[in-house]
Amino acid sequence: MKSKLLAPLAGRKTRIALTIAALAVAGAFFFSRSNESKPAEVAKAVAARPALTVSLTTPQKRDWPLVLPANGNVVAWQEAVIGAEIANYRITEVRVQVGDTVKKGQVLARIASDTVASELAEARASVAELQASAVEAKGNAERAKELKAKGFYSAQLNSQYQTAENTAQARLAAARARQQGADLKMSKTAVLAPDDGVISARSATVGSLTQSGQELFRLIRGGRLEWRAEVPSADLGKIKAGVVAILTAPGGETVRGKVRAVAPSVDPQTRNGLVYADLPASSAVRAGMFARGEFELAQSPALTLPQTAVVLREGFAYVFRMEGEDRVAQAKVVLGRRVGERIEIVSGLAAEARVVAAGAGFLADGDVVKVVDGVSK
């Protein structure tokens, strides 16, 4: 009797278990289908979202100069070495320092003049004495000449007086020459600037003795500097007198000069020739500096973009041009000259292309972007 009651109960439990299992399988199936559809929907939503808000620019055609880069030293156009012209005299005063601008004839230093002054006084006294002797000898010669005509003096005696007069005149001339030398020596006690310019070096010190050939000062004549640029021999023929040279000073300043001359010879070791470019007065460059620069040879058209539109990746240059209304494409380009904030695009981009003006470094090929109204220049 008990087994008959348990049989219907077991069948009912089996049917309930099967029903629960079927519901679990159906739930799992629908849950998996819903999970499969969600990534596609999410990907679609992400793909439609702009990666960046950008402004656009178009290449601009401009006439830019063809340039020839070069390196070289900035030196004095001419540097005068100034020394004392009298030796073994003490320097009593130094009036200028390095960097001072001086005029032609300006006193740079003074040398002790006491000894020279005494020599000059002695020379003047000797001249005065010999002048008196010459006057006396001349008077005697004239009287002897008159007396000889009257027969009181012999020809021999008259000749003696004439010789005495000539000797006195010669001695007077020699004394005057010594006085002139003493005057000249006195003038050399002042060391003068031979030309307008800037003092570039000073070795003169108060109390030191002057020596023959000793350098006391160096003077950059006229304050003029020049850039001596080294240019390969193959490019020397492209540079003519009057070509503009643009230097970049070590501090970043730009100095514009002009070519004065091109060297007629080439260094056999380096195969480079020198180009001499005159520079204007400027505090940006000084004698002895090394400077980089370039020569402007001619004008030629260039297709240019702002430097912010160009991205450098793995050693190559790229820009991002618009494809359609909201998508960008990465384009590899070849760069050329740079002037200011713009750069030349030699190849790889059409003149009518629309290009992302800034922020291209955050983009990838095929990204969707939001374009700000208007096209920047």
Is the model's pLDDT at 51 over the cut of 80? no
Residue 56 vs residue 376, higher pLDDT: 56
Mean per-residue pLDDT over the chain, rounded: 83
Answer yes or no: are the C-beta atoms of 258 and 278 closer than 8 Å.
Answer: yes
CA atoms in the 13 A half-sphere facing the CB of 115:
10
Please write the tens of the pLDDT for every residue from 164-175. Answer: 888 888 988 998
Query: What confidence tier does 17 reach under pLDDT thresholds 50, 70, 90?
Result: low
Is the model's pLDDT at 16 over the cut of 80? no
Please write the tens of the pLDDT for every residue from 151-198. Answer: 766 777 778 878 888 888 898 899 889 888 888 888 888 999 999 999
Please write the tens of the pLDDT for every residue from 257-308. Answer: 999 999 999 999 999 999 999 998 888 888 888 999 999 888 888 899 999 9
Average pLDDT over residues 213-236: 91
Name every residue whose Cβ is closer than 8 Å to that of residue 238 and which is 6 or more positions away in sequence: 68, 295, 297
**Structure tokens of 139?**
């008077």
DSSP 121: H
Per-residue model confidence (pLDDT) at position 9 = 43
Query: What confidence tier does 6 reach under pLDDT thresholds 50, 70, 90?
Result: very low
Is the model's pLDDT at 68 over the cut of 70? yes
Per-residue model confidence (pLDDT) at position 20 = 65
Q: Which residues of 4-41 are buried (b: 16+ CB within 10 A; e: fewer)?
A: eeeeeeeeeeeeeeeeeeeeeeeeeeeeeeeeeeeeee
Is the model's pLDDT at 14 over the cut of 80? no
Is the model's pLDDT at 363 over the cut of 90? no
pTM for this prediction: 0.56
Per-residue model confidence (pLDDT) at position 30 = 47
